[in-house]
């Protein structure tokens, strides 16, 4: 076995563990991510064929040897378990064992706001008078029923922000009954899940799992025995109500009559109804409202929740702020890790949202198109990039740059140095290493400087795809400029660390010394990655300027003192960490 590992190490010039990590980071996610639609489309055929094939193999082994048959079953079970774990089925939130006490603790952790019923009816004096006469303060008073189209019937008269319907036109909901009630003096939405405990717990956990900063209906209380949830009523109209009020024929009561005996297929009918709603919403909801809501979707995904119901009836336009708020979480899925399954379901959410609202959020399809378009501009790549989930650019097997350099060496050194610090990265190239310092090194913020417009364009693309992939707005800025501009104060000095990842040696010797000397009076710490592997034939004496010995000497002359130089076995790019003598108390 050791001989085999040595051969692998020799061929790929890397440790076998790193080779294995590369395979699991790139090849498997890349392949599985692109095969999921195919697997789902033909899942029954594939499952049937697998059962037949494995049965034949098992019976064949059993015919010759019982031991071989048992070994085969063990291997098959292990492979199946690993596959299920790898795609993410093992990382779903378990909900069956959740207790009533745990749910109450989560409710108490909310930063919740609820509406007093007198405030709710402040502009509806006649309805308020009737409600006050009926409400004793101790009982639960039902003031309105939602029908299947989201309209409300009330015996008390008109209710604020609701599309009202008469009793004769009311169409009962086929799923879970929903109503508006007054309980403990508050106006709440009551949702009854009947016998469906799974949907009941799912909605509770999903809403309570979301951080307080996300706009959502808050949970007031619940009935664990009868599977009932009481949640806040949000002041505002659903997008469905807005569409109907502006003449859109999208309700079931309208479309059932219109499409009676229609030659259109079900898909054609749905697309026609959808297009009507989209056309009206695009006129009434402005770009800023969409952008804010899309940031909310990003936050929800970042919290590990997918399978969102982003339909017209499940989104409310809040009256006071105009913000769009998602209100239905009964079908969502909670993930404990960002697995292949998570990314697949998240991608479906974004596709549905784009389809409903004619938007252009990044999905796996257009993200790959952007990557391919960027790749076509270059015949080769300075540094490989792994965006995750099978999306990558460049030769990721090269440990001297990009993801190879990070996985093989940098990630073992840098996180403990940059944690919680603000960084100025000079000559950032595609900004990938800087983003990894934020993502895995937990740096506070990074400002990247690059003079080449092509690399700046790529750096912005890298940031855009990272933000999409991780559902997070990384605190990174990309500035066009030359490294020597630092001496003129172009980038400011409010930084903890100045970094040069294989970049400073592109300056001449005099500028290197001058820049470092000036920096030692402005920024407390310095990180430089050298390159002892530069070709001797490189122009402008680059092999000498990039060497560890030259850079250490330059650092010492400039007013910094070396803390430590980190070397890697068989690795030509050491990291030099230094501290300025001008910041003795830092």
- First and final CA of the chain: distance in angstroms? 50
Of 280, 287, 289, residue with least CA distance to 323 = 289
Could you count the other beta carbons within 10 Å of the beta carbon of residue 246? 13
Contact 523, 496 (CB under 8 A): yes
Q: What is the pLDDT of residues 286-343, one digit of tens each?
A: 999 999 999 999 999 999 999 999 999 999 999 989 999 999 999 999 998 888 889 8
Q: What is the pLDDT of residues 459-510, one digit of tens each?
A: 999 999 999 999 999 999 999 999 999 988 899 999 999 999 999 999 999 9
Q: What angle do CA 459, 460, 462 make, to 5 degrees?
A: 65
Please provide the average confidence, as pLDDT, over all residues in the chain: 86
User: What is the C-alpha separation between 280 and 240, in angstroms, rounded?
Assistant: 10
What percent of the chain is predicted at pLDDT more than 70? 87
Collect all residues with Cβ–Cβ distance below 8 Å to 476 and sequence separation of at least 6.
Answer: 431, 434, 435, 438, 445, 446, 447, 448, 463
pTM above 0.85, yes or no: no
Q: Quick one: three-class SS letters along 261-321?
A: CCCCCHHHHHHHHHHHHHHHHHHHCCHHHHHHHHHHHHHHHHCCEECCCCCHHHEEEECCC
DSSP 234: P
For the chain, domains (ranges, CATH) are 2-91 (no CATH), 94-233 (no CATH), 237-361 (no CATH), 371-580 (3.40.50.150)
What percent of the chain is predicted at pLDDT more than 90? 56
- What sign for the dihedral angle of Cα 233, 239, 244, 245? positive
Collect all residues with Cβ–Cβ distance below 8 Å to 95 and sequence separation of at least 6.
Answer: 198, 201, 202, 205, 334
């Amino acid at each position: 076995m050791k001989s085999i590992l040595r051969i692998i190490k020799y061929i790929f010039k890397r440790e076998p563990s790193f080779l294995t990590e590369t395979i699991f980071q790139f090849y498997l996610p890349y392949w599985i991510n692109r095969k999921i639609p195919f697997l789902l489309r033909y899942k029954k055929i594939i499952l049937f064929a697998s059962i037949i094939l494995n049965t034949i193999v098992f019976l064949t082994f059993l015919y010759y040897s019982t031991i071989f048959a048992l070994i085969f079953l063990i291997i098959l079970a292990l492979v199946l378990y690993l596959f299920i774990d790898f795609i993410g089925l093992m990382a779903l939130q378990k909900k069956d064992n959740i207790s009533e006490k745990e749910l109450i603790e989560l409710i108490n952790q909310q930063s919740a706001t609820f509406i007093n019923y007198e405030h709710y009816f402040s502009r509806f004096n006649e309805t308020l008078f009737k409600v006050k006469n009926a409400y004793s303060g101790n009982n639960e008073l039902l003031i309105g029923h939602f029908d299947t189209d989201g309209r409300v019937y009330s015996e008390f008269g008109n209710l604020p922000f609701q599309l009202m319907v008469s009793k004769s036109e009311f169409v009962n909901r086929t799923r879970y009954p929903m109503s508006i009630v007054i309980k403990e003096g508050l106006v709440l939405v009551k949702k009854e899940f009947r016998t469906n405990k799974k949907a009941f717990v799912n909605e509770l956990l999903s809403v309570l799992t979301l951080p307080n900063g996300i706009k959502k209906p808050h949970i007031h209380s619940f009935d664990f025995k009868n599977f009932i949830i009481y949640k806040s009523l949000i002041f505002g109209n659903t997008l469905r109500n807005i569409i109907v009020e502006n003449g859109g024929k999208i309700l079931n009561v309208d479309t059932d009559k219109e499409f009676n005996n229609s030659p259109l297929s079900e898909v054609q009918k749905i697309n026609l109804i959808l297009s009507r709603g989209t056309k009206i919403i695009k006129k009434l909801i402005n770009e800023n409202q969409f952008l804010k809501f899309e940031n909310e979707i990003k936050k929800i995904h970042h919290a590990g929740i997918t399978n969102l119901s982003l339909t017209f009836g499940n989104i409310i336009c809040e009256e006071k702020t105009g913000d769009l708020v998602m209100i239905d979480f009964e079908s969502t899925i909670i993930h404990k890790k960002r697995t292949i399954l998570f990314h697949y379901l998240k991608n479906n959410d974004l596709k549905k949202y784009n389809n409903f609202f004619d938007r252009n959020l990044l999905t796996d399809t257009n993200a790959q198109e952007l990557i391919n378009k960027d790749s076509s501009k270059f015949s080769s790549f300075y540094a490989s990039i792994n965006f995750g989930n099978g999306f990558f650019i460049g030769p990721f097997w090269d440990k001297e740059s990009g993801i190879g350099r990070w996985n093989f060496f940098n990630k073992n050194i840098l996180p403990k140095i940059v944690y919680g610090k603000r960084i100025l990265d000079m000559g950032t190239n595609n900004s990938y290493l800087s983003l990894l310092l934020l993502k895995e090194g937990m740096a506070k913020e990074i400002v990247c400087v690059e003079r080449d417009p092509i690399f700046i364009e790529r750096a912005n693309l890298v940031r855009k795809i990272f933000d999409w992939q991780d559902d997070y707005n990384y605190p990174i800025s990309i500035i066009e400029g030359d490294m020597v501009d630092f001496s003129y104060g172009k980038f400011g000095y409010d930084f903890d660390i100045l970094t040069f990842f294989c970049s400073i040696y592109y300056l001449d010797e005099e500028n290197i010394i001058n820049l470092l000397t000036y920096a030692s009076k402005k920024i407390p710490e310095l990180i430089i990655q050298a390159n002892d592997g530069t070709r001797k034939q490189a122009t402008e004496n680059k092999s000498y300027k990039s060497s560890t010995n030259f850079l250490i000497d330059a650092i010492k002359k400039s007013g910094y003192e070396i803390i430590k130089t980190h070397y890697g076995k068989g690795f030509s790019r050491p990291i030099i960490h230094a501290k300025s003598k001008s910041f003795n108390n830092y």
